[in-house]
Amino acid sequence: MILKKLKMSRLIKSFGWALSGLKDCILHEKNFRIQYIIALGVLVAGFVFSISLNEWMIILLSFAVVLCFEIINSAIEKLCDLVMPEYHAVIKKVKDMSASAVLLASIIAFIIGCIIFLPKVISLF
């Protein structure tokens, strides 16, 4: 019984730490805030255009991928800065590759958004 309570306590704490990390990204990571605001805008557009259930699933999955990559990118950049505060060619490559994952996910999410929303916008005219 005590072991179960300890495991539950750790689980609850781990959720708290994860939420703290998310809060930190929202408050202190400019690029994450930009992606987050875009995601909120697309959510509003989804309601305005009454997108289908399948479209919602694709949009939400796209958000998740972009925002998760942005969090991972931020974490990698912070770790690189801690390990090697001065310029280093390998650290630059690591940071650039990490940022490219976010860029690629964002481009694909943008294309998905265009596929879903452009026909709806065009049908208004």
- Whole-number Cα distances in Å, 89 to 75, 84, 100: 19, 10, 16
Q: Residues comprising the binding site for ATP?
A: 10, 29, 77, 86-88, 95-96
Q: Residues comprising the binding site for a divalent metal cation?
A: 29, 77
Does residue 8 contact residue 32 with C-beta atoms inside 8 Å?
no
Q: Which residues are catalytic?
A: 70
**Crossing angle for the helix pair 53-83 and 89-122, to the nearest 10 degrees:** 160
Q: Residues comprising the binding site for substrate?
A: 10, 70
